[in-house]
Chains A and B, each alone.
Chain A
Amino acid sequence: MIKRRKWKLSWVRSRGIPILLSLVVSAASAQQQVGQLEGEFRLNGKETWKAFDPVREVLQESSAVVYDGWKSIAYGVVVSSDGYLVTKASEIEGVEELSVRVNREHFKKVRVVSSTVEWDVALLKVEAQGLPVIEWAEPEPSHGTWVISNGSTTRRDRRLRVGIISANARKVGEGRAPVVLGVTLDTSGEEEGLPVKEVQKDSGASEAGLKSGDVILEMEGRPVRSMEDLQELLGSKEPGDRIQVRLRRDGEDLELEVELKRRESVFEEKKTRNDAMSGRVSKRRSDFPRVLQTDLPLSVRSVGGPLLNLEGHCVGMNIARANRCETYAIPAKELRAIVENLTGDEQAGSAAE
């Protein structure tokens, strides 16, 4: 039998005595207890987590810890028994010493198979056999449904965080392309192209030598006359793609090749008052085609793993810590399609080899 402890109340020192008195006085009418609930009994306290233990088992077996050297940087979802995993792509970008742990097994050889910048998901492959694959949940969870995800980890054990579905599933952001040239444009004029106002530092545009005052005429041989033209062209691109840009400078036309980079690595986001009270948030936390919203108190390093319901089935994959009270997850339905696309690419690729 579970050992039961008494309530742990820690009295607020400055008010302890008067409150205690009022407690006695009002006990008959309201059973008003005054004090504090110890950390382990709170929503995300270790005593509360015990009831979720059957679900934690699923995290233990079918979630992955993604490391850069010794440091855990993200989690992942096991989507095939032979070692395919998905994780948050922008969190593993540029990582040199990538390794993965599933349950207690450490895989030091990890291949980044493919990725989608639209969803910020990367497909990884490790050499494994017989991994327990995540089970998909149906239908989509409604508001107030318990959700469970990776919170922290030791070498042996996965620990969880719990919360609920908080809001309507929806698109977040303004539908901007996730990759950029790295320029701000003047769209007010009537000119035939798009004049460059400023070139961002460390962007593909600045590396290619674009300058303020250049007028962008064509990209990949197609005329660009509006922001919409530009967004449409960039919408299908991945970071690292190189794109031909024809522009006019001082009356002369020239052609440059510009590397596309992730929006969040080039443009700094404006910080709002709410961001100031949110702690660290994911670098990429917007412009997703559709997300579930939860109140899971995740750190930026604990996204990428599966979002489970009380049955231990996967309702989604945590994709961004957005602010103090909002965490986003890619819904299971969309995630399954993403996994199919990414693994499909891989198989098509190997068939062609």
Chain B
Amino acid sequence: MKKHRFTGLWLFCFSVWSLGCCLISAAEEVEEDRQYFNEKEVPENLRDLRNIQKALQETLPQARAATVSIDLGGGSGSGVIVSGKGLVLTAAHVSAGVGKEMTVIMEDGTKHKAVSLGLVASTDAAMIQIMEEGVFPYVELDRGDSASLGDWVYALGHSGGFEKERGVGVRIGRLVRMAEQTINSDCNLIGGDSGGPLFNMKGRLIGIHSRVGASLEQNMHVPLREFLKNWDAMLAKEFVGKGPFAQEAVAFLGVSTEDREEGGIVIKEVGDKTPAADAGLQEGDVILMLNGNELDGAEQFSASLKGFKPGQKVKLKILRDDKEKEVEVELGEK
């Protein structure tokens, strides 16, 4: 039995850990015990089942209040508020970028404007911020990373999009697979749940819904530790990692160019309503320098532009009618 098997290790860990805690700070809150039903291989009787039900139902009202639907115009996902000021955790494939505007919908139908902060493209973690002032209902995080294989958990989300009459959907399950960057549960998920919260039976957030497999038991979540690890970067609106869950916005100027023998590059075409057109660039202009660096080919120029982000300003030295001129352009997003 699991309890026995781990008792020795447990005692050892606990003594080392509690000693450490005492040394570090006496005021540090001692981590609570794990719920007894999570220490059992399976519930053994109706009493165990009732205790699981009780734990879920005690924590559910707050969890529901903090779970939101995220309306992106074309589609929708879910998210969960983790601070009274309206910080929301969701999936990167839901927020789909940095600085994007969206609408957050509470279970009672109240709508709030929100904007996406940073994300981790490689593991599907993201943050968004509600832009309106207010005191929002929020949930506690499982900061101790206590989730273990077999733990009883529940998933919330606005499956298939916001439906006021139905409200948030709750599904029960266990943690059935644990890997470093993904945890699986047998809480059934569907489209629209993406970005929604996975809770332990203390109502603490342990993960965010990411994707499903073909079988009903393959429901994948981003573990909370992935958020904690990248917390500051996401708050600072960084785009962390590369795909597959989000693609970084590419800076965009809006010209087609070709090489020029005498150095620099020639603008062949300026697109309508592009940053280049807004800045007054014209067909035939020669671009000599980008932020003070000489240009010697169209390919090099477009490669250098990729080093910038949408919204950044660049200085171009151009040659028009044999006169040199400085032009500042705010790069757009493709």
A, B co-complexed: yes
The verdict on A274 contacting chain B, using a C-beta distance below 8 Å, is yes
Query: Bound state CA distance, A51 and B60, in angstroms?
Result: 23
Q: Is B180 an interface residue (CB 8 A)?
A: yes
A54 near B149 with CB under 8 A, answer: no
B50 and A310 within 8 A (CB): yes
Interface assignment of A143: CB less than 8 Å from any CB of chain B: yes
Given contacts A51-B43, A166-B171, A310-B53, contact A44 B186 (CB under 8 A): yes
A51 to B57, Cβ gap below 8 A? no
Q: Interface readout for A1-29 with B: 1 if CB under 8 Å, 0 if not?
A: 01011110100100100010010000111
B 150-185 to A, binary, CB cutoff 8 A, 1 in contact else 0: 100010000110000111111111111111100000
Q: Is A273 positioned at the interface, with any CB of B under 8 Å from its CB? A: yes
A143 near B60 with CB under 8 A, answer yes
Q: B44 near A2 (CB under 8 angstroms)? A: yes
Nearest CB in chain B to that of A23: its residue = B178
- Selected from B146, B173, B193, the residue in CB contact (under 8 A) with A43 is B173
- CB-CB under 8 A from A27, the residues of chain B are 9, 13
Give bound CA distance, A144 to B175, whole Å: 18
**Which residue in B145, B176, B192 is a CB contact (below 8 Å) of A274?**
B192
Residues of B within 8 A of A22 (CB): 180
A-side contacts of B248, CB under 8 Å: none
**For residue A323, which residue of chain B has the nearest CB?**
B190
Are A310 and B186 in contact, CB atoms less than 8 angstroms apart?
A: no
Q: Which of these, B52, B144, B188, contacts A324 with CB under 8 Å?
A: B188
CA distance A35 to B41 in the complex (A): 15
B209 to A: closest C-beta gap in Å: 11
The CA-CA distance from A167 to B259 in the complex, in Å, is 63
A184 at the interface (CB under 8 A from B): no
Chain B residues lying within 8 Å of A19, measured Cβ to Cβ, are 179-180
- Complex: A4 Cα to B166 Cα, angstroms: 41
Kindly identify which residue among B9, B57, B171, B179 contacts A325, using a CB–CB cutoff of 8 Å.
Answer: B171
The answer to whether A144 and B57 have CB atoms under 8 Å apart is: yes
Using an 8 Å CB-CB cutoff, how does the interface string of A273-301 with B read, 1 for contact, 0 for none? 11001110000000000000101010000
User: Are A168 and B165 in contact, with the CB atoms below 8 A?
Assistant: yes
Q: Is B191 close to A, CB under 8 A?
A: yes
Besides the contacts A7-B149, A51-B45, A52-B49, what 6 more A-B pairs have beta carbons closer than 8 Å? A15-B179, A29-B17, A30-B145, A30-B146, A31-B148, A171-B165
Complex A-B: 24 CB contacts under 8 Å: A7-B150, A22-B180, A32-B145, A34-B178, A34-B179, A36-B149, A36-B177, A37-B177, A42-B174, A42-B176, A43-B187, A48-B43, A51-B49, A143-B60, A144-B53, A144-B172, A166-B169, A168-B166, A277-B190, A295-B170, A295-B172, A295-B188, A297-B216, A310-B46
